[in-house]
Structure 1
Amino acid sequence: MIPVSVYNAIFLANRVKFGSLEHVVPILLAVVFGIVFINFAKQSLDKQKQKRVLHVFACCISGIVLSFHLYKISLGHYNIKTDLPLYLCSMLALLVPVFTYYRKFWMFEILLFWIIAATTQGVLTPDIPEGFPSFDYFRYWVVHLGLLIIITYAIFVYRMRPKFKSVFKSFVALQIYVVLIMLMNDVLDANYFYLNEKPESASLLDYFGEWPLYIVVVQLLAIPYFLLIYSSFFWFKKRFK
C-alpha cells in the first residue's frame, strides 16, 4: 500500500502548475481558435449558419461534460456528494446549448456575467488534479475556454450587449441558483459551492471570515465584480459612439 505522504507527493506533482506549458498552451490555442472561429462566422456564413455552428459547438462542450461524468461512473467510484456537475462552470456547460438554440436576450444577460466571472479565475488559476493528457485536463479546458468563446461569439457575431439592469438580473439569478444548491446540499449532505464549510486547503475564502460570514462577503463582492464586467461595455459604447 502506498504511504499517504508518497501518494500526496505524486498527486501534487501531477497537478497543473500556474504558468506551465499545460497552463499557457491551451489558453493560446483557444485565443487563436476563437479569433478564427468568430471571424469566419462573421465574414463567411449567413445568419442561419452562424447560429447552427455555434449551437453545434455548444453541444460538443456539453457532450464532453456528460461523457466525463459517464466515464467517472464507469470507473466505479462516482460520489454524488462531490462529483455531480453542480459547480457553476460544469452546469453552464450543460445549459449553454439551450442559449445557443433559442438565443434569448435574457439568457445572454445572465450567462455573460456568470461565464466571465466563473471562468476567469479557473483560467488564470487552474485547479486540475491531473495534467496532460488526462480526460479531466481536456474537459477542464474545453469547458472554461469554450464557454468564453461562446459568450464572445454572442457579443461579436450576434452583437448582443448587456444593459445596466442586466447586472442585477444576473445577480438575482445567481442568488436563486445558490438557494437551489443549498437545498441540494441539504438533501445530499454535501458541500457544493462550499456553502456549508470552507475547503480544507488554503483558499481566498480564508480571508472572508468563518461560516456563514464568508458566504455573505462573496455574495457582496459579486455585485462590484459584475459592475466591473459591465463597465468595459459601457466604456466602449461611450468611446466609439
Structure 2
Amino acid sequence: MDPSWAQETFTPYGVSHWALLGVAAVGAGLLVRAGRRQRGTRSGVLFARAFALLLGLFAVAMQIYRLLPPQWDIAVSLPLHLSDFTWLVAVCALWTRWQWAYSLTYYWGLTLNPQAMITPALDAPGFPHVDFVDFWTQHVLVVWAAIYLTWGLGSRPDWRSLATAAVVTIAWGVSVFGFNLVTGANYGFLNAKPDNPSLLDVMGPWPWYLAVEFAVGIAAWALITWPWTRSAGRSTRRARATPAR
C-alpha cells in the first residue's frame, strides 16, 4: 500500500503542520497536569524514567537507521546537530534530574526545538515517511520533556544554569564548525543558512548571523530565566520576613 498523500513533500503551514503543532500543545498541557499530580512521588520518578526510555530508544533507533549503508551520508547522518545533543541531555535529565542536564534541556528544548518546529528544515515526504516521523517525534518529545520537568515536576533554572548552557553551546559550536570545514557538512547551519525560510534570514549574511543568533539566543534565555529567579527571590524575602515560632 503506497498512498499518494504519503508521497507529497511536507509543506510548512499546511494541514499536517498545524495539526502537529496542535498535538504538541495539547500533549504539553496533559504532561503538566500529570507532573503536578506526580510531583514528589515514586510514580513521578517512574513516569519520568519511562519517558526517558521512550525518547532514548526512539532516538537511538533512528540514529542506527541513519548509519546503515543505504542512508549513510557524512553530511547528514551523524548526530551533530544541537537537537541531537538535546535529546541526549533530555534523557539524562528525565532519568537523573541532574541540574546541568535539566539546564541544557530547558534552554535548548524551549527555544531551539520550537523554532525548528515553527520553521522546519524538512525536505521529505509527509507521514509516514521515516524522516517525517523522526523529525517531529524527537523535536516534540524534547519540548515535552522540558515542559514536564519545569511546570510538571518543578525543576527550575537559575543564572548559573544559563551560564552552563552558554558555555556548552559555544563549545559545541566551535567543535562542529571545525568538523563542517573539514568535511563540507553544515551541521547546526553553522557554515551556511538552511535552504528553507527561517529566522536566520533576518539575521544578516554569514558569518554575521552566527553572532546575531547567539546574542538573540542569550537574550531569550535570560528572559526565560528571569521570572524564575525573581519568584525565588520573593520567596526568600518572605521566608526571612516570617517571624520564628
TM-score normalised to structure 2 length: 0.79
Partner of 1:175: 170
8 Å contact 1:87–1:193 — kept in the other structure? yes
Residue matched to 2:4: none
Structure 1 Cα separation of the partners of residues 161 and 69 of structure 2: 42
**What is the aligned partner in structure 2 of residue 76 from structure 1?**
70
- List aligned pairs for 1:212-223, cutoff 5 A: 212-223=207-218
User: Structure 1 residues 229, 45: CA separation in 2 closer, same or farther (over 3 Å shift)?
Assistant: closer
Counterparts of 2:154 and 2:40, CA distance in 1: 14
Residue 52 (structure 1) aligns with: 46
Structure 2 unaligned spans of 5+: 1-6, 239-245
Counterpart AA for 1:152: I
What whole-Å deviation, never above 9, does each CA across 1:34-73 have from its counterpart, x for those lacking one?
A: 3334423433686232122222212222222222233344
Is the Cα contact below 8 Å between 1:112 and 1:151 reproduced in 2?
Answer: yes
Among all aligned residue pairs of Structure 1 and Structure 2, give the percentage whose two residues are the same amino acid: 23
| Residue type of the alignment partner of 1:176 | A
Q: CA RMSD in A?
A: 2.9
Superposition pairs for residues 82-97 of structure 1, below 5 Å? 82-97=76-91
1:157 corresponding residue in structure 2: 152
Kept in 2: contact 1:171–1:222 (CA 8 A): no
Distance 1:201 1:24, change over 3 A: closer
What corresponds to 2:95 in structure 1? Answer: 101
Do the aligned partners of residues 43 and 204 (structure 1) sit closer, same or farther apart at CA in structure 2, a change above 3 Å counting?
Answer: closer
Cα distance in structure 1, aligned partners of 2:50 and 2:157: 24
Question: Do the aligned residues in 2 keep the contact of 1:205 with 1:214 (CA within 8 Å)?
Answer: yes
Aligned counterpart for 1:32 among listed residues 26, 35, 54: 26
Partner in structure 2 of residue 195 of structure 1:
190
Query: Could you tell me whether the CA contact under 8 Å between 1:16 and 1:127 is conserved in 2?
Result: no
Q: Does the CA contact (< 8 Å) of 2:92 and 2:98 recur in 1?
A: no
Query: Cα 1:211–1:156, aligned 2, differ >3 Å: closer, same or farther?
Result: closer
Q: How many residues align?
A: 230
What TM-score do you get using the length of structure 1 for normalisation?
0.80
Q: Structure 1 pair 109/37, CA: closer, same or farther in 2 (3 Å)? A: closer
Indicate conservation of the 8 Å contact 1:16/1:130, yes or no. no
